[in-house]
Structure 1
Amino acid sequence: MPRFSVVVPVFKVQGYLRECLDSVLGQSFTDFELIAVDDRSPDHSGAILDEYGARDPRVRVLHLPENVGLGRARNTGVEHAHGDYLLFLDSDDSYLPGALDAIDRQLTACGHPDVLIFDHQRSYWDGHTEVSSYGGQLAAVGTQTFTVAENPELLTLFHVAWNKAYRREFYLREGLRFEPGLYEDAPLSNEALVCAESIGCLPRVCVDYRQRHQGAITRSPGRRHFDIFPQYASLFAFLERRPELAAHRPLLFERAVTHLIFCIRRRDRVRPADRRAFFRQAARLYRDHIPPGFTPPRRRARDCRLLAHNSYTLFAARETVRRAAGLARRSARAARPHVARAFHGLYYALQRLLPLHPDVALYSAYWHRGVACNPQAIEAKARELAPHVRSVWVVRKDAVPALPPGTDHVVPGSRRYWRMLARARYFVNNVNFPDHLVNRPGQVHVMTHHGTPLKTMGLDQQPYPAAAQMDFGKLLRRVARWDVSVTANPHSAEVWDRVFPCGYTDLPAGYPRNDRFATATAEEIAAVRARLGIPRGRTALLYAPTARDYRKGFVPRLDLERLSAGLGEEYVLLVRTHYYYGRDSALRDLHARGLVRDVSRHPSVEDLCLAADALITDYSSLMFDYANLDRPLVVHAPDWESYRDTRGVYFDLLSGRPGETPGPVTRTEDELTAVFRSGTWRGPEARALRSAFRARFCPWDDGRAAERVVRHALLGEPLDALPPVVPLAERRRVPTPEEAEAAGEAPPAPVEPGPAPEPLS
């Protein structure tokens, strides 16, 4: 008997069905059956189901002779289910990686409750996602279980079929069934919760709830939305048959009223021409099923009074006033930025009439995300070589709490921000400052960049789809403000000269952030590994994939749980997502279980590189920086062709030619695991490729890059007077982690996995 029966009703979803089925069949947890119910779908959905059923024995396909609707299709699936727990998944939605494993573990931790409620996210047609608002409420429960009587707040959670696991024995014993028609989720969810003797919660996001641009039933206005009335009538009839549940009736009644009012206010549900009739039916249901002595909550009191008296005219008038007030508020909010911009523009213009502050440097990194990267290294060196220059950082408001103590900073949009833009002498950034900055005579702008280009940049992006929305005229106007462009290697210098064709000075200094890779000591490396909780004798692998222009949000290209299991106990897998992406719940779950260490929001990527015995990456510019350490590099590139064709690249990273490929290349998870299990990752061929790659891309990173920038840009020393570059063969090599341990340092104490570090942004 399988652990789970996943019931998927299918009707007119041929464009989404494969993604749904793949999300189930691709789960790391495999003890399940998938029961797909073809509800007489008129498109190719039935054929797709048969295709999957023929190749995977876990898939059972049921073809209904006639269309019966979503609820009855689910009921048919339940009749054929054999799993310990029932799960329902709509055929245009999908499971996130690791969802079933997380559900299984939480069911066990909760003592196998009757119902387990888990979290979800909404995925919109334009690519963005929103995590539900229920995560905190679900997390507060932990592994405890409750009845609704003990925790009535459980009835306020999102009442849909697909965010719960139902113990099948309980489900059948209580005679739970979906009613025909729209809104079939609501009565069954409520009935299950009030009947359950134990309810557990899982805050993990398990389901991706697709918000279709059009075609979704609940977003198509029409008379079908009147189905909500027999649905709730069935719920109250259920309560009549179960007098022992009478105590729950007031809260369920209030939730029903809330749902009815929500629907009548949504123009994508109830059409204006149908609102009076809808309200009258709602009023009838209200009067027929109001519990004795019911006192509506304060927030619903007015709506309840209007329903009790069937006062649609007053309700409609109130709605008109409410919508007018909402329009007025939105108009006021929309006007506020224009007023603020006008004021700030005037204030900024007046400040530009005042003299410059000759010894103030304004720093920023990664669009004001915090103190980081090349600007951070330059500022640290400036405090040593140019102590008279005062440092001020531009930092977003949400990043201020993570700033190092004592950091002088301004928040974008504040008055002091505009004063600093107008009067600071030096500007240092690894990206462009905003378009509203005006370059005054006497100001010095230093562009440090933040990576060696593998992907096309600047004007070279014009032929590629990923840059279709870029305004290249604006880009060049931003570049025209640069006075100094810091370059890490000859390759970068050649690219910048072509793609950013303006009159700045090229400073071949190396990357200031890489100075640590030439100066770090064994003590520093041991201390970093201790802070990260890497046990003595373990090999730390840093997996750092880059962003994809053709995908929105973090989409792991590896099954990290499977990779961790394949590597074995001798390895520690550190995972760092690109800073574009927010917190990933699946990754944090793996971190909490000790399978990987989520270091996505660790404040120093340089620390992570020093701690790692090897780097696994795809197309990230981090590979060029890491090459300075002369440690193994492995390229895992499962989607190289897609990346190359959508963004464009300057050389073939997978060619195997010296100077282009930094180490072994893998395309599948099995190949990646084999590279490490076989020792290929640090063999002679890997060393030869790494040596050629390092010679090409690390000729100037000798530990004095920040000094060169400070001396030239802040102190005005000419280029020919700057410290000469130390050749690669003469440089001190930073110790490996293994050498740091052998040097006699105290072994780092193992650290139990816990919550991942809070993000800077």
Structure 2
Amino acid sequence: MTANSHILAQKPPFAHRTVSVLIAAYNASPFLERAINSAVAQGDAVIEIIVVDDCSTDATLEVAGAMSRKDGRVKVVHLPRNAGPSAARNTGLEVASGDWVAILDADDAYAPGRVERLVEIAAAQDADIVADKFSYYDPATDASSPANIGFADDMTLIDIETFLAHARPFGIDTDWGLLKPMFKRKFLADRSLRYPSNSRHGEDFLFVTDALLEGAKYVASNFLGYLYTHRGAGWSRTKVDYDGQVDQSKALLLDRRLSGNSRLVCLLKERIRAMKRLSAEYKTQALIAERRLLPLATAGVTDWRIAASILSKVKNKVTTVRAA
């Protein structure tokens, strides 16, 4: 037996490292089948695909049921009232039985081989959380382009400081709060970790932050394994609430696990400022799109960030006209 074959012999069988894929779905009937199929195609490591129907008003429940009849690994849970993505995922966590829980949004998909790659990295690094890079997917063209995410090595260790430094808009790369990690279920269970039930937007950031503050070992690969459908495609059912994310981050400043560390507090305040800017940009764009010029002018007077956003858009427009 060679040295390499000895190492392989000591490696736990892949089938023993099982994965539950968790999909929270609300009015997802046009694209849910794509998400489920991408999870089904991951192979034997995926022992179950838990679809939590968040009291949809379209055919989501019927689509999920039909997929369940095709593949017994697809399990469907129906919530009697709409409770939001956090509550739906928490319901899925209660049902999950795999060693790992992999999150998949209903409008997104996995690239081939993604789960196996993440499981192998997690086992090799003895990780509690493992993630990879993602590509933005455009349904109109069926094309994807990689997001600018700042880890180039095959394995990058992400501690709480590193995560907070990158988990914000207008940063040096794409917001790491958008990553869709896979979690060791025992770690979550031992620490009673759950998604914040009062959050319907930005819950991924809060959940990962909580896990890191509880001591999770988080590793990431430069593998492009997740297909993130850009919000501009119109598939997402998440109601944008950037002001709510500002409030959530402000509340974190009071967390004793974080508040005593001046560096973490500084990074969190940078996130708060960035989220306020994003909120202003979003409000400005919405008012312009709706041609609500008087409310836009009023907002520009009362909020300097919106005024700055308006000025920036005017400058860009003038530059474009001059270039033409």
Is structure 2 residue 254 aligned with structure 1 residue 264?
no
Counterpart selection for 1:251 from 267, 273, 284: 267
Query: Structure 2 vs 1, CA of residues 313 and 102 (structure 1 numbering), >3 Å: closer, same or farther?
Result: closer
Q: Which residue of 2 aligns with 1:148?
A: 160
Q: Which amino acid aligns with 1:199?
A: Y
Q: Which residue identity is paired with 2:130?
A: L
Provide the rounded CA distance (Å) in 2 between the counterparts of 1:313 and 1:34.
45
CA-CA distance at 1:155 after TM superposition: 4.2
CA contact (8 A) 1:89 1:162 kept: no
**Equivalences for 1:318-717 in 2 at 5 Å?**
318-333=308-323, 335=324
Amino acid of the residue matched to residue 73 of structure 1?
A: A
Look up the match of 1:36.
51
Change (3 A) 1:97 1:115: same
Q: Is the 8 A contact 1:193 1:199 kept in 2?
A: yes
Q: Percentage identity across aligned positions?
A: 20
Mapped contact 1:75–1:178 kept (Cα < 8 A) = yes
Distance in 1 between residues matched to 2:234 and 2:185, nearest whole Å? 34
CA contact (8 A) 1:20 1:94 kept: yes
**Partner of residue 205 from structure 2, selected from 186, 200, 210:** 186
Report how far residue 270 of structure 1 moved: 5.5
State whether structure 2 residue 103 is matched by structure 1 residue 88.
yes
The structure 1 residue matched to 2:189, chosen from 162, 165, 172, is 172
TM-score, normalising length from structure 2?
Answer: 0.78
SS at structure 2 position matched to 1:48? helix
Q: CA deviation at 1:97?
A: 0.9
Deviation track 1:519-570 (CA, whole Å, cap 9, x = no partner) reads xxxxxxxxxxxxxxxxxxxxxxxxxxxxxxxxxxxxxxxxxxxxxxxxxxxx
1:26 is the counterpart of 2:47? no
The equivalences for 1:113-124 within 5 A come to: 113-124=127-138
Distance 1:155 1:183 in 2: 11
Equivalent pair of 1:113/1:145 in contact (CA under 8 Å): no
- How far residue 96 of structure 1 moved from its aligned partner, in angstroms, is 0.9
Q: Cα–Cα, structure 1 residues 246 and 49, in superposed 2: closer, same or farther, change >3 Å?
A: farther
Q: CA deviation at 1:225?
A: 5.0
For 1:204 and 1:270, locate their aligned partners in 2 and report how far apart those are by CA, in whole Å: 35
| SS at 1:121 equivalent | strand
Alpha-carbon distance change, 37 to 328 in structure 1, aligned in 2, over 3 angstroms = same
The CA deviation at 1:332 is: 3.9
* Partner SS for 1:207: strand
**Contact in 2 for aligned 1:2/1:32 (Cα 8 Å):** no
1:102 aligns with 2:121: no
- Structure 1: tracts of 5 or more residues without a match: 280-310, 336-761
CA distance in 2, matches of 1:93, 1:8: 10
Q: How large is the RMSD of aligned CA atoms in angstroms? A: 3.2
CA displacement 1:11-33 (0-9 Å, x = unmatched): 11111011110100011353432
Q: 2: distance between equivalents of 1:213 and 1:115?
A: 29
Structure 1 Cα separation of the partners of residues 219 and 130 of structure 2: 5
Equivalent residue number for residue 4 of structure 2: none
3-state SS, counterpart of residue 160 of structure 2: coil
C-alpha displacement at 1:244, in angstroms?
Answer: 5.9
After superposition, residues 226-305 of structure 1 pair within 5 angstroms as: 226-237=243-254, 239-240=255-256, 243=259, 247-267=263-283, 271=287
The 3-state SS of whatever aligns with 1:77 is: helix
8 Å Cα contact 2:243/2:275 also seen in 1:
no
Q: 2:280 is matched by which residue type in structure 1?
A: I
236 and 168 in structure 1: CA distance in 2 versus 1, 3 angstrom threshold: farther
Q: Is the 8 A contact 1:264 1:275 kept in 2?
A: no
Equivalenced residue count is: 295
Kept after mapping to 1: 8 A contact 2:131/2:179: no
Contact 2:284 2:309 in 1 (8 A): no
Which amino acid letter does the alignment assign opposite residue 116 of structure 1? Answer: V
CA shift for structure 1 position 203: 0.9
Partner residue of 1:163 out of 156, 170, 180: 180
String of CA shifts for 1:165-213, please: whole Å, max 9, x gaps: 1222223344433233223223223333444442211111111112353
Structure 1 counterpart SS, 2:30: coil
- Going from structure 1 to structure 2, the CA distance change for 1:225 and 1:154 (only over 3 Å counts) comes to closer
Alpha-carbon distance between aligned partners in 1 of 2:297 and 2:161, rounded to the nearest angstrom: 36
Partner of 1:523: none
In structure 1, how many angstroms separate the alpha carbons of the residues matched to 2:42 and 2:284? 35
Give 1:57 deviation, angstroms: 2.7
Indicate how the Cα distance of structure 1 residues 30 and 229 shifts in structure 2: closer, same or farther if over 3 A, else same: same
Structure 1's 197 and 317: CA in aligned 2 closer, same or farther, altered over 3 A?
closer
Asked if 2 retains the 8 angstrom alpha-carbon contact of 1:9 and 1:70, the reply is yes
Output one character per residue of 1:463-498: Cα deviation in whole Å (capped at 9) or x when no partner. xxxxxxxxxxxxxxxxxxxxxxxxxxxxxxxxxxxx
AA aligned to 2:205 is A
2:226 aligns with one of 195, 207, 222: 207
Q: Show CA shifts across 1:292-327 (max 9, x none).
A: xxxxxxxxxxxxxxxxxxx84544443333222222
Question: CA, structure 1 residues 59+327, in 2 after alignment: closer, same or farther (shift >3 Å)?
Answer: same
Instruction: Tell me which amino acid in the other structure corresponds to 1:331.
Output: V
Could you tell me how far apart the structure 1 residues matched to 2:267 and 2:206 are? 13
Q: Displacement, 1:217?
A: 4.1
Structure 1 residue 76 and structure 2 residue 91: aligned? yes
SS of equivalent to 1:266? helix
Amino acid in structure 2 at the alignment position of 1:320: I
**Displacement of 1:106 after TM fit?**
1.7
1:139 aligns with 2:183: no
Secondary structure at the counterpart of residue 163 of structure 1: coil
C-alpha contact (below 8 Å) 1:2/1:31 kept by paired residues: no
SS in 1 for 2:175: coil
CA distance in 1, matches of 2:316, 2:106: 36
Residue 11 of structure 2: aligned partner = none
- Give the secondary-structure state (helix, strand or coil) at the position aligned to 1:97: coil
Q: What is aligned with 1:511? A: none
Secondary structure class of the residue paired with 1:145: strand
